[in-house]
Structure 1
Amino acid sequence: MTDWVSTGGETGSARTKPLAWLTAPVEPAGDNGFFGPGSVTWKVWGYPTGLSVGFQRAVVTEELDPFLVASVQHTGKVYSQARTRYDHTLAYFATVLFGDTETATKSSAVLMKIHAKTGVGTEPVSGLPYDANDPDSQLWIHLTAWHSILYVYEQFGPGPLSDAEEHQFWNECAIAAELQTCDPDKVPRTREGIRCYFENIRPRLAASEITQQMMDHLLNARVMYPPLLGKLGPFAWVANKFLRTATIATLPHWQRDLAAIRQSRMADLLVRLLAKPVFWGLSKSGRLQLALLAWLSPSTAPIAAPFLRKIPAREARTLTPAAAFAQWHVQPPAELFTQLHRRAE
């Protein structure tokens, strides 16, 4: 029997020996998920900028929503279990993007149930309720992530997409939105539409002292380091400084002002000159990317392994989210959201 490194979870050897992902046989995904080979999603999210600077930019920017930061602050896990939280969050995004449809739909339902238990409360400044499953909150998280990944790809990766590719990218963004409670029809399909969304939501964004502390904490990549890497002194410091500086360089100045983040224009310029060749070099080796990913996010490695090692899925098909929810007998997010609310009443 083949000794597969399973994509369905973290095996002991793969978790303790990340380099196992470079040589051991990897179990193929069940199917090509919602996007598959040739999709712009795989092209952009799969570039080394995506699950590094792009992801860090997304989780930092998200905290400008007072209701989201209240939910995150309430659990306290972003401080007490920072590495685990980073690992699980990255793994969820990777599942939606690169995983098979069964795993993705079931993961969506599990996350919603977790949010229903731990992500409900009262925002302390306004006194208004928050709900991590709220459609508007989910739309903010979703668009912040997809915009961040594309923007960093343009800045530190190959550059802007063609008009046709960008159109496809935002259409695929709407497809991914169907795994959350947000309305896919509210997902902009153009760059101008995305600009309008952020302009319209900007008056609702704020940065309290808690927000500023949270953003600064999330800009510290050391929180996601495994114990060994954290002990590598100068290397760990350089890696953290690079990621932090690169992420800040992509933030608009109004966001930096809100968050009380300071970085010189010279630092912005220098990191832009450095980042592009670094990520280009990483892009030439899927196995090197996988090794780094396995060290930083053990839960994500089995999900991304078939993609990064170019292992074909068992079934060369993609499904729409609606078809996948039906096939795998999983409640669609809108239905589950209503059901969870009824139970809470």
Structure 2
Amino acid sequence: MMDKRVPPLEQLRRRIAGEVVSLFNDRSRGEAPVIRRPAESWFGPDSVTWGVHGDVTAMMVGGVASLLLQMLHPKVLAGVWDHSNFRADMHGRLRRTARFIATTTYAAESDAQAAIARVRAIHAKVSGTLPDGTPYVADDPRLLAWVHVTETWSFLAASLRYGRKRLSAAEQDRYFAEMARVGHALGADPVPTDRRGAEALIATMRPELRVDERTREVSRLVLEQRPKNPLAQPAQALVMQAGVDLLPGWARSMQGLGGGTTLGAPLVRAGTLGVARTLRWAFG
């Protein structure tokens, strides 16, 4: 029911913010948004990481791109395919990933360390073999490095394209240096500490990447995600296309998304910038 004491524009602002918050927090499990702890967090409000991760649109776009990149590594794909229920609950997986990032970015150091410990405990139990018989383990430092570098590269790329603040080359390097703390804590090795190092690591690992029917199935599930509220579905579809558009050309080609987006890159980017401005207004 609408509260007549609250101006209509303010009601709209609250409704938009509430819808976005619900995407990242499972109310059925009593999850509340992660509380920012400036004095106790790993990074703090003066860090580049706080700024990059604080832009909701850029994080959503970067999250889509990072998942599509990560699943190109057959061992990473196998770990997810064999040991999770992502096919039945892709939104849940996306939500848990977003919550992990929020916790390690903004929460108290003790909460960040607890989140890291939970992830490492899960990884320690994940192992198996690829369809060709090659063994894999989820806590392989090189696989963790691939997950880490694709995630940080994607978030920074999305921030550069859709974020509020222009980042200098030095600030971009500082972002990778700051996020190296999370990579090391997860057990990744090697962990890049600047943009050149991140792009070099991605290039080094490209010969290991593959695409098969399982890769395409994961991509389809990611890109077909839709919020329950039909009013939010056009914006969500735009974010998904922006994630595809953010991918390097070689990754789009591997995924069979070589044509980019259905709307064309200029329209997708303009529309996504509009979504970004709306969400910044909604969150003040």
TM-score, structure 1 as length reference: 0.68
Structure 2, unaligned stretches of length 5 or more? Answer: 1-21
Q: 1:155 aligns with which of 151, 157, 161?
A: 161
What percent identity do the matched residue pairs reach?
29
Q: How many aligned positions are there?
A: 259
Cα separation, 1, equivalents of 2:90 and 2:232: 17
1:45-68: CA deviation from partner (whole Å, max 9, x where unpaired)? 111234311112111211000001
2:27 pairs with 4, 7, 15, which one?
A: 15
Out of 47-56 and 62-71, give the one that drifted further. 47-56
2:43 corresponds to which of 28, 35, 44: 35
Q: CA distance change for structure 1 residues 116 and 27 in 2, over 3 Å: closer, same or farther?
A: closer
Equivalent pair of 2:61/2:158 in contact (CA under 8 Å): yes
Alignment partner, residue 209 of structure 2: 205
Residue in structure 1 matched with residue 273 of structure 2 by the alignment: 276
Map 1:187-202 → 2, pairs under 5 A = 187-202=191-206
> Does residue 145 of structure 1 match 2:145?
no
Counterpart in the other structure of 1:299: none
Q: List gaps (5 residues or longer) in structure 1.
A: 1-9, 288-345
Letter in 1 for 2:251: Q
Shift of 1:157: 2.0
- Taking a change above 3 Å as real, the CA distance of residues 106 and 277 of structure 1, as seen in their structure-2 partners, is same
| Residue 237 of structure 1, CA deviation | 3.7
- Give the deviation of 1:34 after TM superposition: 0.8
Alignment partner of 1:121 out of 124, 128, 143: 128
2:239 is the counterpart of 1:243:
yes
Q: CA RMSD in A?
A: 2.7
Give distance in 2, aligned partners of 1:274 and 1:153.
15
Match of 2:277, SS? helix
Deviation per CA, 1:216-235: give whole Å up to 9, x if none.
2112232xx3xx42xx2xx3
1:264 CA drift (Å)? 5.0
> 1:32, 1:100 within 8 Å by CA — same for their partners in 2?
yes
Match of 1:69 in 2: 77
Following the alignment from structure 1 to structure 2, what is the Cα–Cα distance between the partners of residues 182 and 147? 15
Deviates more, 1:64-73 or 1:250-259: 250-259
- 1:267-314 Cα offsets, whole Å, 9 max, x none, are 111111221232133224436xxxxxxxxxxxxxxxxxxxxxxxxxxx
- Cα distance in 1 for partners of 2:114, 2:215 equals 32
Match of 1:171 among 167, 171, 177: 177
Deviations 1:301-340 (A, max 9, x none): xxxxxxxxxxxxxxxxxxxxxxxxxxxxxxxxxxxxxxxx
Please tell me whether residue 82 in structure 1 is matched to residue 86 in structure 2. no
Letter of the structure 2 residue corresponding to residue 238 of structure 1: P
Alpha-carbon spacing, 1:171–1:212, altered in 2? closer, same or farther (3 Å): same
The answer to whether residue 251 in structure 2 is matched with residue 255 in structure 1 is yes
Partner of 1:130: 136
1:210-249 to 2 correspondences below 5 Å: 210-222=214-226, 225=227, 228-229=228-229, 232=230, 235-249=231-245
Given that residues 175 and 194 in structure 2 are in contact (C-alpha distance below 8 angstroms), is that contact kept between their aligned partners in structure 1?
Answer: no
Q: Name the CA shift for 1:102/1:63 in 2 (closer, same or farther; >3 Å).
A: same
Higher relative contact order (CA 8 A, sep 6+): 1
Q: SS at the partner of 2:143?
A: helix
**Which residue is equivalent to 1:181?**
187
Indicate the SS of the match to 1:79.
coil
**Alpha-carbon distance in 1 for matches of 2:263, 2:58:** 24
Residue 49 of structure 1 is aligned with which of 43, 57, 67? 57
SS at match of 1:77: coil
Distance in 1, matches of 2:95 and 2:265, equals 28
Aligned to 1:60: 68
* 8 Å contact from structure 1 (residues 157, 280) kept in 2: no
Query: Which residue of structure 1 aligns with residue 102 of structure 2?
Result: 94
Return closer, same or farther for 1:88/1:38 CA change in 2, 3 Å cut-off.
Answer: same
Distance across 1 between alignment mates of 2:90 and 2:115: 20
